Amino acid sequence: NIPPRSASGGSVSKNSILDPKYSHIYDCYKKSYAEILYRWGYLQQRSEVLKCLT
């Protein structure tokens, strides 16, 4: 059994605060935040947020 990987390339801890089965919901939050950053002109920060999508 292969452990899941995080966005940074490391293994996800079994003690993670966020439940992996809701990752699609967390991705929606990240996309919404990235859209706000885009509207405000923070393109570099938006890029960093989008790198964390699963």
State how far the Cα of 47 lies from the Cα of 34, in Å rounded to an integer.
Answer: 8
Domain range for 40 is 20-50
Residue 8 included in any domain: no
- The tokens describing 10, both together, are 């490391």
pLDDT tier for residue 43 given thresholds of 50, 70 and 90: very high
The predicted pLDDT at position 39 comes to 99
Beta bridge partners of 18: none
The predicted pLDDT at position 51 comes to 96
Residue 24 included in any domain: yes
The pLDDT of residue 23 is above 90: yes
Residue 26 included in any domain: yes
Beta bridge partners of 1: none
The pLDDT of residue 42 is above 80: yes
Q: What is the pTM of this model?
A: 0.68
pLDDT tier for residue 8 given thresholds of 50, 70 and 90: low
Closest by CA to 3, choosing from 22, 11, 14, is: 11
